[in-house]
C-alpha cells in the first residue's frame, strides 16, 4: 500500500488526475507525520511493520483476528448507540459487522476542538474509508472504519483557540475563547456565554 502521496502518479483511466502533496512543505505539519511518510526507517522500532509492506499488513490482520474480544457484545453496543443516534443504515451495518471474528477495523480520530463541530475532518474520513476498502480488497477480509473522538480531553488551553484567514494586511487572526481554571471540566463542556477574543497570529 502506498505511503508517500507525493510519489503518487496518475493511473490510466482515472477520472481525475492525482497530484501528490509533499507534507514537508508545510511548517505546521509535525515531524513525526513527515518522518512516517518519508523516513520510516528511523521510526521502525516503534511500529509493528512498514506501512507499505503487504506482509506487515497480513501479520497485523492475523493478530487482530486472533485477539480474544467480546465481539458480539461490542457489535450489540454499537448497534444500540447507532439506533439512538438515528444513524444511516450503512453505519449500523458496519457496526454489526464487528461481531464477525474475521472483521478488522481501521480507526481514525482527533481530539475535541472547541470552535468546530465534534466530528472527524473530511480528509481523515475519506482516507480511513478508502484504506478500509483497500484492506478488504487486497487481503480478502471484511474491514470497517471506526471514527473516534476524544471528547474527554481536559487540555482547554490546547483547544480554546484557532487561527483563521481574513482580508487585509493582518490576514491571519487568532480566535480564542476565555481561559478557565485547569481541571474544571472536559473540553466538551465549554463555558457559556462565550466571549471570543481576536488577535493577530
Residue 105 is part of which domain span? 69-151
Q: Does 74 lie in the same domain as 147?
A: yes
Show Cβ contacts of residue 121 under 8 Å, excluding neighbours closer than 6 positions: 110
Tell me whether residue 60 is in a domain. no
pLDDT of 113 reads 53
pLDDT of 97 reads 92
In tens, the pLDDT along 146-155 reads 887 766 666 6
How many domains, in total, are found in the chain? 3
Separation CA 66–CA 58 (nearest Å): 12
How many Cα atoms are found within 13 Å in the side-chain-facing hemisphere of 90?
Answer: 4
DSSP-derived letter for residue 188 is: T
Tell me whether residue 76 is in a domain. yes
Q: Does 74 lie in the same domain as 9?
A: no
Average pLDDT across each block of 10 residues of the chain; the chain has 201 residues. List them in order.
48 57 83 91 93 93 94 91 89 91 89 52 81 95 86 67 71 76 59 53 52
Grid cell in block for residue 85: 443516534
- Tell me the whole-structure pTM to 2 decimals: 0.63
Q: Which residues does residue 200 pair with via DSSP β-bridges, in sequence order?
A: 173
Number of other CB atoms surrounding residue 108 within 10 Å: 18
Tell me whether residue 62 is in a domain. no
Amino acid at each position: 500500500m502506498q505511503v508517500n502521496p507525493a510519489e503518487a502518479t496518475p493511473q490510466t483511466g482515472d477520472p481525475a488526475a492525482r497530484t501528490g502533496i509533499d507534507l514537508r512543505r508545510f511548517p505546521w505539519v509535525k515531524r513525526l507525520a513527515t518522518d512516517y511518510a518519508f523516513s520510516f526507517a528511523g521510526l521502525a522500532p516503534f511500529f509493528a511493520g512498514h506501512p507499505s509492506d503487504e506482509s506487515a499488513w497480513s501479520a497485523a490482520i492475523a493478530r487482530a483476528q486472533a485477539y480474544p474480544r467480546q465481539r458480539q457484545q461490542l457489535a450489540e453496543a454499537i448497534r444500540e448507540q447507532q439506533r439512538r443516534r438515528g444513524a444511516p443504515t450503512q453505519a449500523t451495518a458496519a457496526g454489526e459487522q464487528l461481531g464477525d471474528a474475521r472483521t478488522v477495523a481501521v480507526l481514525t480520530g482527533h481530539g475535541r476542538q472547541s470552535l468546530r463541530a465534534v466530528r472527524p475532518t473530511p480528509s481523515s474520513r475519506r482516507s480511513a474509508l478508502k484504506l478500509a476498502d483497500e484492506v478488504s480488497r487486497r487481503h480478502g477480509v471484511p474491514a470497517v472504519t471506526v471514527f473516534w473522538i476524544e471528547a474527554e480531553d481536559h487540555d482547554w488551553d490546547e483547544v480554546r483557540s484557532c487561527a483563521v484567514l481574513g482580508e487585509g494586511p493582518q490576514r491571519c487572526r487568532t480566535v480564542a475563547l476565555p481561559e478557565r481554571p485547569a481541571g474544571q471540566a472536559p473540553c466538551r463542556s465549554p463555558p457559556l456565554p462565550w466571549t471570543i477574543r481576536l488577535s493577530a497570529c
